[in-house]
Amino acid sequence: MVSQPMINTPIDEEVYKGLLQELEQYRKQHERLRLLFNVTRNITRELTIDRLLLRIMDEVKNVLNCDRCSVFIMDDENQELWARVAHGEDEIRFPSHLGIAGYVATTGETLNIPDAYADYRFNPNIDKKTGYRTRNMLTIPMRNKRREIIGVFQALNKFGGPFTNDDEELLDAIGAISAGQIENAQLYEEQKKTFDSFLETLATTIDARDPMTAGHSKRIAKYADEIAKVVKLSDTEREVLRTAALLHDYGKIAIREAVLTKKGRLTPEEFEHIQRHPDFTRRILEKINFTGKLKDVPKIAGAHHEKLDGSGYPQGLKDKEIPKLSKILAVCDVFDALTSQRPYRDRMNFFKVLTIINKGAGIDFDDFYVAALKKIRLDRLLVILEDEHQEKLRPGDLAFLSSFTLTDLMFAHAEIEPTLEQQKLLSVFTKYYTQAYFEKSKDDYI
Amino acid sequence: MVSQPMINTPIDEEVYKGLLQELEQYRKQHERLRLLFNVTRNITRELTIDRLLLRIMDEVKNVLNCDRCSVFIMDDENQELWARVAHGEDEIRFPSHLGIAGYVATTGETLNIPDAYADYRFNPNIDKKTGYRTRNMLTIPMRNKRREIIGVFQALNKFGGPFTNDDEELLDAIGAISAGQIENAQLYEEQKKTFDSFLETLATTIDARDPMTAGHSKRIAKYADEIAKVVKLSDTEREVLRTAALLHDYGKIAIREAVLTKKGRLTPEEFEHIQRHPDFTRRILEKINFTGKLKDVPKIAGAHHEKLDGSGYPQGLKDKEIPKLSKILAVCDVFDALTSQRPYRDRMNFFKVLTIINKGAGIDFDDFYVAALKKIRLDRLLVILEDEHQEKLRPGDLAFLSSFTLTDLMFAHAEIEPTLEQQKLLSVFTKYYTQAYFEKSKDDYI
């Protein structure tokens, strides 16, 4: 479209009409680019894959004026396409050659289908699963900068008729932007997953040096997270707490094995040596470049043996000087130590454990977090207690326990004439708690 | 701009002129949005902060038709602004309130300055440092989605005159997109840095369990990287190699301390026990969710004691069955073991070390990587050998050694009548190699 020269009267009607048409085209393109720019700006702000996908689906829905949008991502390893069900929590997966999405992912063609059920490639099973009724659909491949197909965009049920050519172009452009952003998010999540599983593996192997504490750090991380949920910590605080929990005993790497695994009474020197472990934890973790939200992890992990009254170690911090997340670790640490199986003894009687923790509230532990511990749902508590024997947990029992907390259990135990329900509660919980298992050896953790 | 109704002749000249103007506006806006979209597409494809910044600078330069663009990033912690010098390798840093960039970062105002040297806020020191001559400049704040200023965009020396209002708007829009992407890249790099320093800290503490091998894993990672550079491995392979090197002895966590630190001769049972460590390494690392490029790390790390002739352990793999990166680790492992100081003995005579490794070439070790080891520049080799005593290395000696390799050193040693230069080479290298240091204790590593 070349710029028109200024024309003197009389103005030619044909020229004028042409100008109006050109203007109309520009208006449309302008509107489309404006939309596209807004979509882009919104898309580039998310680096978490789930939120990114939800965001993309929302944007496409609005821009194309349609009822739904799905983004299917290629899983090359398993030859599958997967997607969050549009605006839901669930994930669907299917072989990467099936249905319309599979066709587009395989051939790289764009498909604009005005009537889905009339198309032989359409796989009605997804509608069946989701209870949705697909009418028209626009499906385009999504390519990364190397032009590889990394997924498929699918817009469903355009309001007021099938999708247009303009829609195709617009979705194509959104796809180009989204592909880069989705790959970025995948890279970020992959790195995060590797780091997380590294932390867990590390925690497991550190614990495994001492058969007494096998599985301890993972369980603490789980108990701590339950308390975090009860007291409504933020997602960020939960992540910090989980990291600190997994690493709280890392300093034990510097403790002599003979001391760590000694069965008899420790000499004063040995006792002093083993009490250095939280300090080692802090010092080692301080060498790690924990930045941003994780920067307090060394301090928090290193203070898990501090006590409210200042009688803890290594620093003898008091109440307000102790980081709140360390206070949570302290409660969970003792709870797990007392309720764990040991190679040479059974778990401590559960009600004795609770008595010890109750007595320590306000002296050793912060009341607030002891109270939170007692509010944990019993089914969740049991799943953590029986971390390594999940297969023994009966779903019916878990469902029953889900209506109760530790507090309920204590009440039931204290009752002289417990109700039938209280009796059941006591017997179900105790059945698992007192169950005997085969010992695991150190090698089982490696 | 409301759509014009179709008008019958005679056509009003005023209406016609208005139409042409409107069309012209649309054309310009259209062109701007199109540019913006392209910039966006290119920007969203980079997740590495350095490459991203270079990309942004390039795009802005092209779109605004100017000579340079700098992106200054806020470093809140240090109250500084930093930038890669436009299209260079170096970084500049200055207090975040200084100069034009500092003014914009502090006030959030956009500054469009037609003559930099006439403006009192302009800091000519940067020009002095970089040897550049700034004429006109456009500087805008860059805000994240929380509207916080995370940096400043600066375009310099527009060709053919100062920057226009249109340029301001365009740069503002690019800034909005870039801000999100820069934050993403920062998040990604931060996570990566944490993971890397975690690996290093882990390697250090694992080594520290056995004072004999303190610092071993970090040094192996460095030797291996030197070999990688000699044989021109890709960046990805180098990262895999470095990770495997840092973790290759991780399995020692499962070896009994009494065996690990025993000074005398090992019993057959103890010897067998300690030989299990590469297998433990592999098994532990396999539990980690190493994905993508890192997925072979467990296998590579677990095969560092395999030998070409099949006499190694744990699997007794032969030549082609051994991953090539494991072969590099094997050479470096032995080289470091023999050249390390031990609490109870000095380093082995260096030429005896080389003789052992030469004899092992083709039997224990792959010829190719032995040859590569011998091509490492001597200054780099020495920096690794003296990893913990960098302060003792004289720059003049390093400069001298940088012209030689291990091969040169061997020739010099074999010479019956060495030249003066060869004598100097032998004496400089040997001076450091045979130097005695105070022992470090295990605690020094924590």
Per residue in A102-113, pLDDT (tens digit) is: 999 999 999 999
In a domain, A8, yes or no: no
Written as six digits, the tokens of B165 are: 């209002």
pLDDT category, B444, cuts 50, 70, 90? low
What is the spatial distance between Cα A5 and Cα B346, in angstroms, rounded to a whole number? 90
Reply yes or no on whether the pLDDT at A263 is more than 70: yes
Amino acid at A153: F
Do B298 and B247 touch, CB atoms closer than 8 A? Answer: no
Reply yes or no on whether the pLDDT at A299 is more than 60: yes
The b-or-e profile of A126-137 (16+ CB within 10 A means b, else e) is beeebeeebebb
Per residue in A195-236, pLDDT (tens digit) is: 888 888 888 878 877 767 778 999 999 999 999 999 999 999
Q: pLDDT higher for B421 or B126?
A: B421
Do B39 and B171 touch, CB atoms closer than 8 A? Answer: no
Judge whether B23 is closer than 8 Å to chain A, CB to CB: yes
Judge whether A15 is closer than 8 Å to chain B, CB to CB: no
**Mean pLDDT value of segment B337-345:** 78
Q: Mean pLDDT, chain A, as a whole number?
A: 88
Judge whether B36 is closer than 8 Å to chain A, CB to CB: yes
The reply to whether B130 and B67 lie within a common domain is yes
**Mean pLDDT value of segment B129-141:** 90
Written as six digits, the tokens of B421 are: 């230069």
DSSP B118: G
Neighbours of B351 (CB within 10 A): 14
Task: Find the DSSP H helices in B44-64.
Answer: 49-64
Residue from the list A180, A188, A194 with its beta carbon closest to the beta carbon of B288? A194
Q: pLDDT higher for A173 or A417?
A: A417
> What confidence score (pLDDT) does residue A343 get?
64
Q: Taking each helix axis as running N to C, give the angle between helix A165-208 and helix A235-247, from 0 to 180 degrees, rounded to the nearest 10.
A: 30
Q: Which stretch, A155-169, B306-320, B430-444, has highest mean pLDDT?
A: B306-320
Q: How far is A121 from chain B, CA to nearest CA, in Å?
A: 32
Residue from the list B23, B190, B257 with its beta carbon closest to the beta carbon of A23? B23
Residue from the list B9, B177, B197 with its beta carbon closest to the beta carbon of A40? B177
Closest C-alpha among B58, B38, B60 to residue B50 = B58
> What confidence score (pLDDT) does residue B440 get?
53
The reply to whether A116 and A225 lie within a common domain is no
Reply yes or no on whether the pLDDT at B356 is more than 50: yes
Q: pLDDT higher for A82 or A292?
A: A82
> What confidence score (pLDDT) does residue A27 get?
83
CATH number of the domain where residue B159 is located: 3.30.450.40
Q: How far is B372 from chain A, CA to nearest CA, in Å?
A: 32
Judge whether A184 is closer than 8 Å to chain B, CB to CB: yes
> What confidence score (pLDDT) does residue A89 get?
60
What is the spatial distance between Cα B333 and Cα B337, in angstroms, rounded to a whole number? 6
Do B161 and B115 touch, CB atoms closer than 8 A? Answer: no
Per residue in B70-121, pLDDT (tens digit) is: 899 999 888 999 987 655 567 788 898 888 999 999 999 999 999 999 998 8
Closest C-alpha among B318, B333, B301, B354 to residue B227 = B333
The reply to whether A119 and A215 lie within a common domain is no
Q: Which of A172, A187, A202 is the last residue of a domain?
A: A187
Reply yes or no on whether the pLDDT at B369 is more than 60: yes
Do A219 and A383 touch, CB atoms closer than 8 A? Answer: no
Judge whether B177 is closer than 8 Å to chain A, CB to CB: yes
Reply yes or no on whether the pLDDT at B396 is more than 90: yes
Closest C-alpha among A282, A289, A222 to residue A252 = A282
The gap from C-alpha B345 to its chain's centroid, in whole angstroms, comes to 36
Closest C-alpha among B155, B145, B209 to residue B177 = B145
Q: pLDDT higher for A128 or A333?
A: A333
> What confidence score (pLDDT) does residue A445 get?
53
Partners of residue B279 in chain A, C-beta under 8 Å: none
Partners of residue A37 in chain B, C-beta under 8 Å: 33, 36-37, 40, 173
The reply to whether A309 and A381 lie within a common domain is yes
Portion of chain A with pLDDT greater than 70, in percent: 93
**Residue A310, Ramachandran bin (φ over 0: left; ψ between -120 and 50: alpha; else beta):** left
Q: Taking each helix axis as running N to C, give the angle between helix A165-208 and helix B277-286, from 0 to 180 degrees, rounded to the nearest 10.
A: 140
Q: Which of B153, B187, B221 is the last residue of a domain?
A: B187
The reply to whether A295 and A385 lie within a common domain is yes
Query: H-helix or E-strand containing B325?
Result: helix B324-339
Closest C-alpha among B288, B198, B194, B251 to residue A200 = B288
B289 contacts A253? CB cut-off 8 A: no
Query: H-helix or E-strand containing B1?
Result: none
The reply to whether B287 and B338 lie within a common domain is yes
**Mean pLDDT value of segment A390-417:** 94
**Mean pLDDT value of segment A156-163:** 92
What is the spatial distance between Cα A179 and Cα A151, in angstroms, rounded to a whole number? 8
Partners of residue B192 in chain A, C-beta under 8 Å: 191
* Best B40, B42, B193 residue to mutate vs chain A (most A CBs within 10 Å): B40
> What confidence score (pLDDT) does residue B94 get?
87
- Opening angle at CA A346, ends A399 and A338, nearest 5: 75
**Beta strand residue intervals within B136-258, DSSP E:** 137-143, 149-158
DSSP B405: B
**Mean pLDDT value of segment A11-33:** 81
Written as six digits, the tokens of A179 are: 């592909």
Do A86 and A58 touch, CB atoms closer than 8 A? Answer: no
For A288, phi then psi, to 5°, come to: -80, 140
Written as six digits, the tokens of B9 are: 């002749």
- Classify the complex by whether its ipTM is higher than 0.85, answering yes or no: no
Reply yes or no on whether the pLDDT at B197 is more than 90: no
**Residue B148, Ramachandran bin (φ over 0: left; ψ between -120 and 50: alpha; else beta):** beta
Q: pLDDT higher for B221 or B186?
A: B221
Reply yes or no on whether the pLDDT at B202 is more than 90: no
In a domain, A1, yes or no: no
What is the spatial distance between Cα A122 and Cα A134, in angstroms, rounded to a whole number? 10
Q: Tell me how long chain B is.
A: 446
Judge whether B9 is closer than 8 Å to chain A, CB to CB: yes
CATH number of the domain where residue B301 is located: 1.10.3210.10
In a domain, B197, yes or no: no
The model carries a pTM of 0.79
Judge whether B165 is closer than 8 Å to chain A, CB to CB: no
Per residue in B164-173, pLDDT (tens digit) is: 998 998 898 8
A10 contacts B289? CB cut-off 8 A: no
Judge whether A201 is closer than 8 Å to chain B, CB to CB: yes
Reply yes or no on whether the pLDDT at B300 is more than 70: yes
In a domain, B271, yes or no: yes
The reply to whether B127 and B169 lie within a common domain is yes
User: CB neighbours of B323 closer than 8 A, spacing ≥ 6?
Assistant: B296, B299, B300, B303
Written as six digits, the tokens of B177 are: 């997109």
The reply to whether A215 and A182 lie within a common domain is no
What is the spatial distance between Cα A428 and Cα B220, in angstroms, rounded to a whole number? 55
* Best A291, A293, A440, A444 residue to mutate vs chain B (most B CBs within 10 Å): A291
The reply to whether A239 and A338 lie within a common domain is yes
Calculated CA dihedral for residues A308, A313, A317, A321, nearest 10 degrees: -80
In a domain, B125, yes or no: yes
pLDDT category, B343, cuts 50, 70, 90? low
Judge whether B349 is closer than 8 Å to chain A, CB to CB: no
Secondary structure of residue B45 in the 3-state scheme: coil
> What confidence score (pLDDT) does residue A5 get?
52
**Mean pLDDT value of segment A161-181:** 88
Ranking A307-321, A364-378, B239-253, B335-349 by mean pLDDT, the lowest is B335-349
> What confidence score (pLDDT) does residue B85 get?
63
**Lookup result for tokens 């605690």:** B443
> What confidence score (pLDDT) does residue B9 get?
54
Neighbours of B171 (CB within 10 A): 26
Amino acid at A109: E
What is the spatial distance between Cα B357 and Cα B15, in angstroms, rounded to a whole number? 90
Judge whether A204 is closer than 8 Å to chain B, CB to CB: yes
Q: Is B359 exposed, middle or buried (0-12, 13-18, 19+ CB in 10 A)?
A: exposed
Q: Tell me how long chain A is.
A: 446
**Mean pLDDT value of segment A153-169:** 91
**Lookup result for tokens 């190493």:** B290
Neighbours of A231 (CB within 10 A): 14
In a domain, B292, yes or no: yes
Q: Can you give the three-state secondary structure of chain A, one letter per residue?
A: CCCCCCCCCCCCHHHHHHHHHHHHHHHHHHHHHHHHHHHHHHHCCCCCHHHHHHHHHHHHHHHHCEEEEEEEEEECCCCEEEEECCCCCCEEEEECCCHHHHHHHHHCCCEEECCHHHCCCCCCHHHHHHCCCCCCEEEEEEECCCCCEEEEEEEEEECCCCCCHHHHHHHHHHHHHHHHHHHHHHHHHHHHHHHHHHHHHHHHHHHHCCHHHCCHHHHHHHHHHHHHHHCCCCHHHHHHHHHHHHHCCHHHHHCCHHHHCCCCCCCHHHHHHHCCHHHHHHHHHHHCCCCHHHHHHHHHHHCCCCCCCCCCCCCCCCHHHCCHHHHHHHHHHHHHHHHCCECCECCCCHHHHHHHHHHHECCCECHHHHHHHHCCEHHHHHHHHCHHHHHHCCHHHHHHHCCCEHHHHHHHHHCCCCCHHHHHHHHHHHHHHCCCCCCCCHHHHC
Partners of residue B301 in chain A, C-beta under 8 Å: none
B22 contacts A181? CB cut-off 8 A: no
Reply yes or no on whether the pLDDT at B434 is more than 50: yes
Judge whether A279 is closer than 8 Å to chain B, CB to CB: no
Reply yes or no on whether the pLDDT at A411 is more than 90: yes
Closest C-alpha among A37, A42, A1, A41 to residue A18 = A1
The reply to whether A355 and A221 lie within a common domain is yes
Judge whether A20 is closer than 8 Å to chain B, CB to CB: yes
Q: How far is A141 from chain B, CA to nearest CA, in Å?
A: 17
What is the spatial distance between Cα A201 and Cα A250, in angstroms, rounded to a whole number? 12
Portion of chain A with pLDDT greater than 90, in percent: 51
pLDDT category, B1, cuts 50, 70, 90? very low
Q: pLDDT higher for B343 or B251?
A: B251
> What confidence score (pLDDT) does residue A1 get?
46
In a domain, A4, yes or no: no
B288 contacts A197? CB cut-off 8 A: yes
The reply to whether B178 and B218 lie within a common domain is no
Partners of residue A250 in chain B, C-beta under 8 Å: 205
In a domain, B376, yes or no: yes
> What confidence score (pLDDT) does residue A446 get?
54
Instruction: Locate the chain B residue with the closest alpha carbon to A180.
Output: B45
A41 contacts B288? CB cut-off 8 A: no
Q: What is the CA radius of gyration of chain B?
A: 31
Partners of residue B176 in chain A, C-beta under 8 Å: 41
Partners of residue A206 in chain B, C-beta under 8 Å: 253
Domain count, chain B: 2
The reply to whether B217 and B142 lie within a common domain is no
Do A139 and A117 touch, CB atoms closer than 8 A? Answer: no
A4 contacts B9? CB cut-off 8 A: no
User: CB neighbours of B131 closer than 8 A, spacing ≥ 6?
Assistant: none
Judge whether A255 is closer than 8 Å to chain B, CB to CB: no
Per residue in A45-86, pLDDT (tens digit) is: 788 888 888 888 888 898 899 998 889 999 988 899 998 765
| A377, β-bridge pairs | A405
Do A332 and A227 touch, CB atoms closer than 8 A? Answer: yes
- Opening angle at CA B164, ends B162 and B166, nearest 5: 155
Partners of residue B173 in chain A, C-beta under 8 Å: 37
**Mean pLDDT value of segment B187-212:** 83
Residues of the domain holding B42: 16-187
Residue from the list B4, B44, B258 with its beta carbon closest to the beta carbon of A180? B44
Q: Taking each helix axis as running N to C, give the angle between helix B13-43 and helix A13-43, from 0 to 180 degrees, rounded to the nearest 10.
A: 30
Q: Is B416 exposed, middle or buried (0-12, 13-18, 19+ CB in 10 A)?
A: exposed
Q: pLDDT higher for B331 or A63?
A: B331
The gap from C-alpha B403 to its chain's centroid, in whole angstroms, comes to 25
Q: How far is A80 from chain B, CA to nearest CA, in Å?
A: 17
